[in-house]
Each structure stands twice: as C-alpha cells, then as structure tokens.
Amino acid sequence: MIKIVSLDLWETLIKDDSEKDNEKERDNLRAEFISKTLKLNQSYMQKIHSFFCEVVASFINPEKENEWSLLPETQIDYLINKLGIEVKKEDFDKILKFYTECILDYPPSFTEENIPDILAGLKKKYKLALISNTGRTPGRSLLKLLKNLKIKKYFDFFAFSDELLIRKPDPRIFEIVCSKLNASPEETVHAGDSYKIDFLGAKSAGLNPILYVPGTEKPQGAPYIRTLKEIEEVIEKEYVHRR
C-alpha cells in the first residue's frame, strides 16, 4: 500500500517563467544589492555573475566538491572569497537577507495551473512530503513562498537540503522523509522532474519513483507522468495493482 507521496519542488510544482526568466532577474538584483552594499566598483560585476554560473552548475550536479553551495551563507562566503574582500558582519547579514528573500518579491509560478487542486486531491488519500534541494533560497524562505502560493497547508513534512545538510540524490534525504512520516520506502512514492536527482535518488533509497516529464521530451525513465494530474492513476497502476 502506498501511504506517502513525496514531491520535488522546483520544476515539478513551481518554475520560473522562461519568457521573463525570473531567476536571472533575481540574480541581477542580488548582484546590484551586493555591489551597492559593499560599495564595489563595476569591475567586480563580472566576478559576481560568474559566481552565479558556478552556483547554478553546482545545483545541477550536487557533489562533495561543491558542498560550499549547500547553504546561502556558505554561497556568500564563497563569493566574498572569490572577490578577495573583507566584509563586515552587518553587511553580510544585510546581503544574506536580500539574497535569500528576494524570491518573495519576484515569485515563480506553478508548473501547472491547477497545482493546488491536484495537491488537495492527493492529500485526501496520502500524506504529502516535499523534498527540495534548495539553492539561493533556503527552506525558511521557501516556506513563506509556499504559504503565499497557498500550498504550504497540504504538506505533512518538508525536507529542505539546507536544513538537513543532505542533498538529493543522497538516499538519506528520502529515508528521513519515510521515517518522519512513519512509512517504509516501499510505501512511499517520490515524483520529480530530474532523472538523476529525483528518480534515481528515490530508487536508490528503495522508494517508488515517478518521473515528471511535461511537454514532449523523451522520458529517461519509467514510470513517468506528463502532467501531475496523472499521478494518482500511475500510482494505482504501477505501484498498487502490480504488487
């Protein structure tokens, strides 16, 4: 029996509008804020932007070598080091606040219009968990965002990598979710858009994975869903009746 449905956040429930590319916009604002707060001249801008490229690359391939990107605090430390400057504690705190909360003013949107209804439907049958590898925005800010988007209430447990200090695809993050919600991995489904991070990660911990492949892209694994509306049906077909 499936008791828990765990979901990935970015690109599964929320995404940045590709036309507007909010994250790029947010990074421009972060760069400006950092530069203004530290009174840096224009020559530092290039370094700040190349830092953001490194941050993004580390999120795509979370490895031991890029553990500096696990927390926004350590990301900013890494940047300061790269810039080769001294930063006062009070400026660091100002930057951290802006860096981690700027998403609230420039929020992402849902991947699908009816995400709240889909979650409400799933909630009637399962306990719901959210497992997110956080980036520039930590769990504490994502909870505010989820509240603003009116979907926080559907989840029974949140596993944020910056709070647990473990990132998917590490199986331990999936095991924590199962144990917090008193279910075995076999009783748990995890759905997300990344084949490596969500699908293989969940599988390695013994959970039942479902890959989210919106659009027409060829799925790298199966079972997969094209829309989150299909999730209940796929759980029934693949993980309930097959047993």
Comparing CB distances to Mg ion, the nearer of 63 and 90 is 63
- What is residue 10's DSSP assignment? B
Q: How far is the CB of 198 from Mg ion (least distance, A)?
A: 6
Comparing CB distances to Mg ion, the nearer of 39 and 218 is 218
End-to-end CA, the chain? 9
Query: Which residue type is seen at 213?
Result: V
Residue nearest to Mg ion (CB): 11
> Cα–Cα distance between 163 and 143 in angstroms, integer?
12
Q: How far is the CB of 154 from Mg ion (least distance, A)?
A: 18
The DSSP-derived string for 192-224 is ES-IIIIIIHHHHTT-EEEEE--TTPPPSSSSE
> Cα–Cα distance between 162 and 138 in angstroms, integer?
6
Comparing CB distances to Mg ion, the nearer of 8 and 16 is 8
Comparing CB distances to Mg ion, the nearer of 48 and 138 is 138
Q: How far is the CB of 170 from Mg ion (least distance, A)?
A: 15
Query: Which stretch in 4-12, 99-107, 112-120, 175-183 sits in contact with Mg ion by CB under 5 A?
Result: 4-12
- 197 touches 169 (CB < 8 A): yes
Spell out the residues 6+ positions from residue 157 whose beta carbon is closer than 8 angstroms to its own. Answer: 127, 129, 130, 177, 180, 181
Binds Mg ion (CB under 5 A): choice among 2, 6, 7, 10: 10
The footprint of Mg ion on residues 181-200 (CB under 5 A) is: 193
Q: How far is the CB of 23 from Mg ion (least distance, A)?
A: 13
- 119 touches 154 (CB < 8 A): yes
Spell out the residues 6+ positions from residue 121 whose beta carbon is closer than 8 angstroms to its own. Answer: 232
The residue to which tokens 């995890």 are assigned: 190
Query: Which stretch in 2-10, 104-112, 120-128, 221-229 sits in contact with Mg ion by CB under 5 A?
Result: 2-10
Q: How far is the CB of 12 from Mg ion (least distance, A)?
A: 5
Tokens found for residue 128? 């719901």
- 31 touches 52 (CB < 8 A): yes
Contact string (CB under 5 A) for Mg ion, positions 139-178, x = contact: ----------------------------------------
The footprint of Mg ion on residues 87-146 (CB under 5 A) is: none
**Is 8 near Mg ion (CB under 5 A)?**
yes
Q: How far is the CB of 3 from Mg ion (least distance, A)?
A: 23
**Is 52 near Mg ion (CB under 5 A)?**
no
> Which residues of this protein are in contact with Mg ion, per CB under 5 A?
8, 10-11, 193
